[in-house]
Chains A and B, each alone.
Chain A
Amino acid sequence: MDAFFASVEQRDFPELRGKPVAVGGNKERGVVAAASYEARKFGVYSAMPSVVAARKCPDLIFVKHRFDVYRAVSQQIREIFYEYTNLVEPLSLDEAFLDVTENKLAIESATKIAKEIKAKIKAATRLTASAGISVNKFLAKVASDIHKPDGCTLIPPENVAAFIDQLPIKKFFGIGAKTAEKMNAYGIHSGKDLKAFPKVELIRRFGKMGSYYYDIANGIDDRPVKPFRERKSYSTERTFDQDLQTMDEVKQKIVELASMVSKGTGKKNIKGKTVFIKIRFNDFITYTRQRTLHKITNEKTIIENTAIDLLTEFTTQFKPVRLLGVGLSNLDEKDQNQISLNL
């Protein structure tokens, strides 16, 4: 979906149309969750601190998020996807991979399906979406970002190599700003440069991910579209309006967060083997620490005690704390051999 949250707000509140809109808190510590295209012209992007966004675009209108509405729209578009295939892998509320190789309507052209889905989304939600069509998930995702908004981009097999060659490194899905910077330092600026690097070199410099970078640069991405995306972790974090000044305050918040994680995982019937914490100090330096337990759990006291234990190393060099998070990972995996009904 194009500028999803912001577009929903502009749809529902006509007075916001044609204006720079940011969904998110305009408080000192808020961040932009989504920016309308009008706002993007001023350089306002999602995840940007609201203060910075307001500076870049003084007329920026901040609106509060309405997640219930976004979730309802998300559900609407998913229902449309399921008309074509069950192989739908949601990437977020407003993005999903679809494997339409064998689709329910036996339509041969993926582009035709993409156009139909776009039209149905528009009819059902009065919102525009952009589609990317290609031979694998990586290329489809990159393609979908090319002609936004309301785009529909096909990268056919014969154009894959040429397309990757010219693609700037920072546009690669899975390569973040930090990695892109590092690659630039090695003289890697485009797909072509990346391709020129041997796999072992990339692994040496970027660790495990190096192998993924090598593959995508060479058009290799065999990851299947997984209809039930496996949850990798469950966590809760909070940015505080005012920094926490003492370790006791931090501990108290950790206890609250642990209880939320325990409650949330209990409700969803998820258990995990690894407890982790995230702590960000007022100088923005962030640490994560984790510990793997002997058996899977979602019990409050175990999460709480482990999380508090993980905090101890920070007691000696305490600084005011801006953000805290607690989570469970290494989750109890589902049976991979269980066969599902094709519903």
Chain B
Amino acid sequence: MKFSVSSATLLKFLQKAGGAIGSNPVLPILEDFLFQVEENTLIISSTDLETSITTQLDVQGEENGAVAIPAKILMDTLKALPEQPVTLLIDDEAFGIEITSSYGKYKLAGDNPEDFPKIPASEEDDTVEIDASVVLEAISNTLFATSNDELRLAMTGVLVQVDFNKLTFVSTDAHKLVKYAAHNVNSNVSASFILPKKACTLLKSVLPATGMVILRFNRSNAFFEFDNTQLVCRLIDAKYPDYNAVIPADNPYSLTVGRADFLNSLKRIVIYSNKTTNQVILKINDGSLNISAQDLDFSNEAAEQMTCSYDGDPIIIGFNAKFLIEMLGVLNSDEVFVKLSTPNKAGLLLPTEQVENEEITMLVMPVMLNQ
């Protein structure tokens, strides 16, 4: 196998595919990229057995073939080279690799491509076509609210529900919950699956900002296709809890406040909160929102007053400021609604204006105040 390509182009594609390589691979070959050259196309694959990425680029091919090539050495070499054409020559018998740059030659040992794990392929699976921007938006809105608790495996991922033209992404760690729905999707299926966190993180970094994504899925895998690239991931095999049951339908009190002002205020106040709880207290009266925090261990305290519009009985409610900051940071609207009922029940955080064809609901559980 032999081909030539620009070092910078190759590196760009390797960085795209490299995300699937695990930090602590169980098999040495999982530290490799699989390279396959067919005519003038180089196909690059990587996998951690759960998540796999395959991508392809144009190269100047001289001889077809395949090899598994250690990812780190190759990438480090390319990073250390100024952009220039490089040639890779692979001995198809012994899997020795020789890289030639304008400076010299670099040799490393590859592995037998036959030993590289087979990446699952999609067969007649359910198919959905979505704008890449919608998938990106859905993931950005939900990824942060997934759980780290491996005892509740389902909640460590993002629930994806496809219902004909509607696509819903849901995540929760039992303290916060996000439901993101897009209404302009093209499919003729109604089904759901749980996408692992790693796949979401990878998608976020490799999805293009524009263009279409073709999503195929079956009971065990999901396949995302875009830009000559395919990301395959094993789905989480667990039952997602009935999240709809915990989203309050009619929180009677409604606070309307500028999103950026609220966010910036919280960022200042949280500095003075207890470091383990990040607890802030919201005192809401007609027209005024008082945000305060204190850390008794260090005698730190802070309070700010903001104007707002509020419809409801005066309320004093505590939250983990980190949750509010994450949620407000993800939302885009100028103003947000905070819908509340009692100080020990779920609060809702909603954009005052939903983007066309999009619907975001964020829920946050309060902290009990010791008073």
Residues in chain A within 8 A of chain B (CB atoms):
75, 78-79, 82, 88, 90, 228, 268-269, 332-335, 337-343
Contacting pair B238 A339 (CB below 8 A)? no
Contacts of A340 in B (CB 8 A): 174-175, 365
Contacts of B172 in A (CB 8 A): 341, 343
Contacts of B277 in A (CB 8 A): 335, 337-338
Alpha-carbon distance A343/B344, docked complex (angstroms): 16
Choose, from B113-121, B131-139, B147-155, B263-271, the stretch at the interface: B147-155
Output the least CB separation between A117 and chain B (Å): 15
Q: Which of B220-260 contact A (CB under 8 A)?
A: 238-239, 241-243, 246
Q: Which of B138-164 contact A (CB under 8 A)?
A: 148-149, 151-153, 155
> Which of the residues B148, B242, B367 comes within 8 Å of A339, measured between beta carbons?
B367
> Which of the residues B148, B149, B175, B243 comes within 8 Å of A338, measured between beta carbons?
B175
Contacting pair A341 B370 (CB below 8 A)? no
Contacts of B242 in A (CB 8 A): 343
Alpha-carbon distance A75/B194, docked complex (angstroms): 15
Q: Is B318 interfacial (CB 8 A cutoff)? A: yes
How many A-B pairs have beta carbons closer than 8 Å: the answer is 61
What's the tally of chain B residues with a CB closer than 8 Å to chain A? 31
Contacts of A82 in B (CB 8 A): 152, 239, 241
Contacting pair A341 B276 (CB below 8 A)? no
Contacting pair A78 B151 (CB below 8 A)? yes
Contacting pair A343 B155 (CB below 8 A)? yes
B238: nearest chain-A partner, CB-CB? A79
> Which of the residues B153, B346, B369, B370 comes within 8 Å of A75, measured between beta carbons?
B153
Top-10 shortest CB links A-B: A343-B241, A335-B277, A337-B368, A337-B367, A340-B174, A339-B365, A341-B246, A341-B174, A338-B367, A343-B174
Main secondary structure of the interface of A (DSSP, over half): loop
Q: Is B61 interfacial (CB 8 A cutoff)? A: no
Q: Is B18 interfacial (CB 8 A cutoff)? A: no
Contacting pair B238 A341 (CB below 8 A)? no
Q: Given contact pairs A269-B148, A339-B366, A343-B246, enumerate 11 new A-B contacts (beta carbons under 8 Å).
A: A228-B149, A332-B276, A338-B320, A338-B368, A339-B175, A339-B365, A341-B175, A342-B246, A343-B172, A343-B174, A343-B242
Contacts of A339 in B (CB 8 A): 175, 344, 365-368
Alpha-carbon distance A94/B148, docked complex (angstroms): 21
Q: Is B177 interfacial (CB 8 A cutoff)? A: yes
Contacts of B344 in A (CB 8 A): 339
A83: nearest chain-B partner, CB-CB? B239
Alpha-carbon distance A180/B243, docked complex (angstroms): 48
> Which of the residues A75, A269, A333 comes within 8 Å of B276, measured between beta carbons?
A333
Alpha-carbon distance A337/B371, docked complex (angstroms): 12
Alpha-carbon distance A154/B246, docked complex (angstroms): 34
Contacting pair B243 A268 (CB below 8 A)? no
> Which of the residues B151, B155, B177 comes within 8 Å of A90, measured between beta carbons?
B151
Contacts of A78 in B (CB 8 A): 151
Q: Is B279 interfacial (CB 8 A cutoff)? A: yes
A104: nearest chain-B partner, CB-CB? B242
Contacts of B243 in A (CB 8 A): 343
Alpha-carbon distance A94/B367, docked complex (angstroms): 33
- List 11 contacting pairs A-B, 8 Å CB cutoff, sorted by A: A75-B153, A335-B320, A338-B277, A338-B365, A339-B365, A339-B366, A340-B174, A341-B172, A341-B177, A342-B246, A343-B246
